[in-house]
Amino acid sequence: MALQDREYMRTGATTAAAEYDAGLRAHMLRVYNYMTGALILTGVVAFGIANSPAAIQVIFGTPLKWVAFLLPLAFILVLSFGVNRMSFAKLQLVFWAFAAAMGVSMASIFLVYTGQSIAKVFFITAGMFAATSLYGYTTKRDLSKMGSFLIMGVIGLLIAMVVNMFMQSSAMQFAISILGVLIFTGLTAWDTQRIKETYHEGHGHETAGKLAIMGAVSLYLDFVNMFQFLLSLLGNRQ
């Protein structure tokens, strides 16, 4: 009887583990789908605006350019601090609006870099992101300490970028771009592991949906920042 009980417990544990793994994979796929959808929306909006001389003039030829540049930051703050107060449906709307706002802001890259180099750097970024995110998902190493260090790196990076706005140093810009690529590559692995570890089978539909969207926001920002820093390094200017 004892042997039968132990066998039953092992079978139950194996089944539970399989169900957990299936649920985790579905959750991560949902995160990546949201992120991919946001990137597509951002790209479509940016490309559409860049190919409309009237839209370019209205947005980047007037003080509206500051609204275009700062609006994504406002959406990030709303998403970060309002996630617990918003319903899942409302959070989805804000998420897609954020992706569209990023498209407006990023339309300017089509005025600076050639379309061919933008496409080339995008695919390079996609390859780097996929490899690093896969590492974050599969590694057994605890990346939490690395995450804290990288967050401090982002703060230092922002300060350096503000300083260089006044210095206009090409050497400093080159260093910032390299550090930016390294920092956001590391953050991709850290965020992926963090998203994986926040998954729980007991989460209801509402909570699980919110976690998926906020996970997608983190990975989306990692991808976009990595892309922009790589574009600064590898992009061919018009």
Lowest mean pLDDT among 8-22, 80-94, 131-145, 212-226: 8-22
Residue closest to 146 by CA, chosen among 197, 198, 187, 192: 187
Q: Would you say 42 and 102 are in contact if contact means Cβ atoms under 8 Å apart?
A: yes
pLDDT level of residue 12 (50, 70, 90 thresholds): low
User: ∠ at Cα 75 (184, 106), nearest 5°?
Assistant: 60
> What total of structural domains would you count in the chain?
1
* β-strand partners of 113: 237
Give 156 or 22, the one with higher predicted confidence: 156
Q: Which of 110-114, 131-135, 227-231 is least confident?
A: 110-114
Q: Which tens digit of pLDDT belongs to each residue from 164-173?
A: 888 888 899 9
**Radius of gyration of the chain measured on its C-alpha atoms:** 21
Residue 148, pLDDT score: 84
Residue 196 CA, chain-centre distance (Å), reads 15
Q: How far apart are CA 137 and CA 47, in angstroms?
A: 32
pTM metric for this prediction: 0.90
pLDDT of residue 14: 67
What is the domain extent for residue 66?
Answer: 2-234
